[in-house]
Amino acid sequence: MNKSLVTNVSAGLIIAAGYYAPAYQRQLQSIGFFALSGALTNWLAVHMLFEKVPLLYGSGVIPNRFEEFKGGIKQLIMDEFFTDENVDKFFKGQQDSTAARINVQPLIAAVDLDKMYDRLVELMMNSTLGNVLSVMKASHVFEPLRPAFKKKMEILLTDTARSPRFLAALEDNILPSHVSREVLDKIEEIVDQRLDELTPDMVKEIIQRMIRDHLGWLVVWGGVFGGVIGLAMSFFV
């Protein structure tokens, strides 16, 4: 339903009724003319927002301020949605979920515990204690300890990999803080490219779709208040 058309037609019918009604002709005419004046004035104001009207300065404000509206759309997108804080929160959530999904067992299984144990024995044999062990021909006493050493090291590595400190360090390296800034720059570049594709008519249509129905009520209330004023004036004229 076209609110503007209904309001203007209703005002016109009230004016006509003022000429043919058996009573209250002056009041009906005053209500009709004031209502029509208010409705038409507001309709013209709404129309002038979107269209240029010859000889009427300031009409076509939306097409004339095309670049400003594009800037406003970009600012709304970047400042309200893709803020540094929002993007950081998003990546922080990704970090948490990424770290939580990591299975540390394959990492630990890739560690050569036998080589680590051999290195430990070598260090001990090259120490002052090693000289005593060499004299005693006792280096072979370490071999039975190999399974117990490997089991203890596996537990230690597992606990370390699951510790908050290790996970925090892992998160910092999985998604460095500078990534969010790079993502914001990329988003801004995409927004700029999309806005560059807009024409004044496209911006006008976007804004019309958002607010035209609501602006129609300006015409309705212009007619209503005009009619009320007309009724009041009919008692003084």
Mean pLDDT across the chain: 75
DSSP element (H, E) containing 198 = none
pLDDT class of 181 with cuts at 50, 70, 90: low
Give CA–CA dist 45/160, Å, rounded.
71
- What's the total number of domains in the chain? 1
Average pLDDT, integer, range 58-83: 75
For residue range 120-142, list pLDDT tens digits in order.
767 666 665 555 555 545 556 56
Give CA–CA dist 95/98, Å, rounded.
5
Residue 216 lies in a domain: no
pLDDT class of 172 with cuts at 50, 70, 90: low
175: left (phi over 0), alpha (psi -120 to 50) or beta: beta
Tokens describing residue 81 = 């949605």
pLDDT class of 178 with cuts at 50, 70, 90: low
Average pLDDT, integer, range 81-95: 63
| Nearest alpha carbon to residue 157 among 102, 200, 109, 87 | 109
Whether the predicted pLDDT of 35 surpasses 90: yes
Tokens describing residue 186 = 């990329």
The reported pLDDT for the residue numbered 186 is: 76
Share of the chain above pLDDT 70, in %: 68
CB 207 within 8 A of CB 135: no
Whether the predicted pLDDT of 25 surpasses 80: yes
pLDDT class of 111 with cuts at 50, 70, 90: confident
**Residue 109 lies in domain:** 89-189
The reported pLDDT for the residue numbered 12 is: 92
Of 29-43, 55-69, 85-99, 216-230, the least confident: 85-99
Residue 79 lies in a domain: no
The reported pLDDT for the residue numbered 86 is: 66
HSE-up (13 A, CA, CB side) for residue 135: 4
Give CA–CA dist 104/150, Å, rounded.
16
CB 28 within 8 A of CB 14: yes
HSE-up (13 A, CA, CB side) for residue 141: 10
Give CA–CA dist 218/46, Å, rounded.
8
Whether the predicted pLDDT of 100 surpasses 60: no
Cα angle: 235, vertex 236, 237; to 5 degrees: 105
Of the two residues 40 and 152, the one the predictor is more confident about is 40
Share of the chain above pLDDT 90, in %: 12
Give CA–CA dist 69/50, Å, rounded.
13
Give CA–CA dist 151/95, Å, rounded.
31
DSSP element (H, E) containing 139 = none
Of 94-98, 119-123, 211-215, 232-236, the least confident: 94-98
Residue 178 lies in a domain: yes
Residue 57 lies in a domain: no
Residue 1 lies in a domain: no
